[in-house]
Amino acid sequence: MRIIKNIGQYFGEIFHAIKSLLTGMKITGYYFFHPKEIVTQQYPENRDTLKMFDRFRGEVVLIHDSNNEHRCTGCSACELACPNGTIEIINKKEIDPETGKSTKAIDQFVYHLSMCTFCNLCIIACPTDAIKMAQTFEHSVFDRSKLTKVLNNPGSKLMPGIRE
């Protein structure tokens, strides 16, 4: 009696598996014969006209305006939020000309693209919206050291009115 019960359960599981497979194949077949939108890109032939989706996460960039000013205060929130140490903020002390007090400013904003998982946690953690994810995706190089970038421009400074 016990063998018959196990055989019935065995064939019941096989029937359920086949039914599940056919349901999935039905959905796949429908979308195969009724495509809504073609999303395949002919890369690299269409490199000039290629537009990435808005939600695409490329590399991290530090935004500078036309006066070579940025919004990064050097608070290291992005560095702390990064799960694998992709971002390094090297700070320096500067004298504020208005108050005469010593303030913290960024010397270098170092970004290791080779370690980045493109998780966007650094962007979310930034209190001044100084960094964002760019749309760039071509990062093939022969030397890994070229994937380490300093994001702040030479001679750049903090925008007026932005403090921690």
pLDDT for the residue 78: 94
Residue 1 pLDDT greater than 60, yes or no: no
Instruction: Write out pLDDT tens, residues 8-46.
Output: 788 889 999 999 999 989 988 888 888 777 667 788 888
Residue 48 lies in a domain: no
Domain count within the chain: 2
Pair (64, 27) in one structural domain: no
**Residue 78 and residue 29 share a domain:** no
How many Å separate Cα 111 from the centre of its chain? Answer: 12
User: Could you tell me if 93 and 102 are in contact, meaning their C-beta atoms sit under 8 angstroms apart?
Assistant: yes
| CA-based nearest residue to 110, from 140, 79, 70 | 79
Considering the domain architecture, whether residues 140 and 86 belong to the same structural domain is answered as yes
Question: Domain range holding 23?
Answer: 1-39
* 129 contact partners, CB below 8 Å, separation of at least 6: 63, 71
Assigned domain for 54 exists: no
DSSP 8-class letter at 28:
H
Check whether residue 3 and residue 64 sit in a common domain: no
Rounded CA separation 58/51 (Å): 13
The C-alpha atoms of residue 117 and residue 57 are separated, in whole angstroms, by: 10
In this prediction, residue 35 carries a pLDDT of 76
The CATH number given to whatever domain includes residue 97 is 3.30.70.3270
pTM: 0.70
3-state secondary structure (DSSP) of residue 91: strand
Quick one: tokens of 81?
Answer: 């939020």
Token pair of 148, please? Answer: 């380490």
Question: For 54-58, 63-67, 122-126, which range has the lowest pLDDT when averaged over its residues?
Answer: 54-58
Residues 6+ apart with CB under 8 A from 70: 62, 63, 64, 130, 152, 153, 156, 157, 158, 159
Q: Is the pLDDT of residue 2 over 80?
A: no
Tens digit of pLDDT for each residue in 87-109?
A: 999 998 888 777 788 888 889 99
Is 5 inside a domain boundary? yes
Specify whether 65 is located in the same domain as 127: yes
Phi and psi of 149, rounded to 5°?
Answer: -125, 145
**Same domain, yes or no: 93 and 151:** yes
d(C-alpha 82, C-alpha 97), whole Å: 33
Same domain, yes or no: 10 and 84: no
What are the start-end ranges of the H helices in 34-150? Answer: 77-81, 121-125
Strand 87-95 with 102-112, pairing: antiparallel
